[in-house]
């Protein structure tokens, strides 16, 4: 792997990038080793990448274990954070700029509590997008997918080939669709009463 360009060639640090373990929300993981870092491990999201910072002396096995721990921690933090309508609107604008060259311009983006059979809806003539409150607490990549889905409807009505080509730009489309399909399937399972007194 090439050296981390942010550090001089003489500094004993290295950076590696890999694909994430299945089930994580990131499309790539970058591990940055630092000789200055003694014991602490930290991680943060940088676009579609997760950056994990570890001590340089850590073994490969420890690195793999800490990457899993930090991915789980980030996912837990993200699932607790609920975006307000203003943040949701700002997020939609960023996603439109990133994936649709800013062509999808919603006039409003907000959470609603009256959508229990759909994850989101869009009224292209008004430019309004509504997301179901049931998405709150789901991983950010899932919320982003639903936002992009509705943004794409501002550009292309219906679900024809042109519509799905727009969503191919988002690298987590299939993962997010699978997540949502899993939620729907789990809701349809029979809810058996728990066995008590064992």
pLDDT digits (tens, 9 = 90+) for 96-127: 999 999 999 999 999 998 988 899 999 999 99
- Measured distance CA(140)–CA(77) in Å, rounded: 10
Quick one: average pLDDT of 192-197? 51
| Least confident interval from 13-17, 103-107, 155-159, 182-186 | 13-17
Name the pTM for this structure.
0.59
Torsion of CA 149, 99, 136, 173, to 10 degrees: 60
- Measured distance CA(138)–CA(100) in Å, rounded: 23
> What sign for the dihedral angle of Cα 180, 181, 182, 188?
positive
pLDDT of residue 137: 80
Task: Kindly state the tokens that stand for 174.
Answer: 């299939």
Quick one: average pLDDT of 172-192? 86
pLDDT of residue 16: 58
Distances (CA, A) of 127 to 32, 80, 110, 115, 131: 42, 29, 12, 18, 14
When comparing pLDDT for 13 and 44, which is higher? 44
Nearest in space to 150 (alpha carbons), one of 133, 135, 167: 167
pLDDT at 1 over 50: no
Give the pLDDT band (50/70/90) at residue 17.
low
Q: Tokens 């649709």, residue? A: 100
| Least confident interval from 29-43, 98-112, 130-144, 184-198 | 184-198
């Amino acid at each position: 792997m090439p050296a981390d360009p942010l550090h001089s060639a003489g500094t004993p640090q290295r950076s590696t990038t890999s694909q994430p373990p299945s089930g994580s929300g990131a499309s790539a993981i970058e591990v940055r080793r630092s000789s200055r870092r003694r014991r602490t491990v930290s991680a943060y999201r940088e676009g579609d990448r997760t950056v994990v910072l570890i001590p340089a002396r850590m073994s490969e096995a420890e690195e793999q274990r800490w990457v899993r721990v930090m991915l789980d921690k980030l996912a837990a933090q993200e699932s607790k954070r609920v975006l307000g309508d203003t943040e949701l609107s700002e997020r939609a604008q960023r996603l439109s700029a990133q994936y649709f060259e800013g062509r999808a311009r919603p006039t409003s983006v907000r959470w609603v509590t009256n959508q229990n059979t759909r994850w989101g809806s869009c009224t292209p003539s008004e430019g309004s997008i509504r997301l179901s409150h049931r998405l709150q607490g789901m991983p950010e990549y899932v919320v982003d997918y639903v936002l992009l889905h509705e943004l794409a409807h501002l550009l292309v009505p219906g679900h024809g080939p042109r519509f799905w080509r727009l969503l191919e730009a988002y690298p987590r489309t299939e993962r997010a669709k699978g997540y949502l399909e899993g939620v729907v399937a789990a809701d349809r399972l029979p809810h058996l009463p728990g066995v008590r007194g064992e």
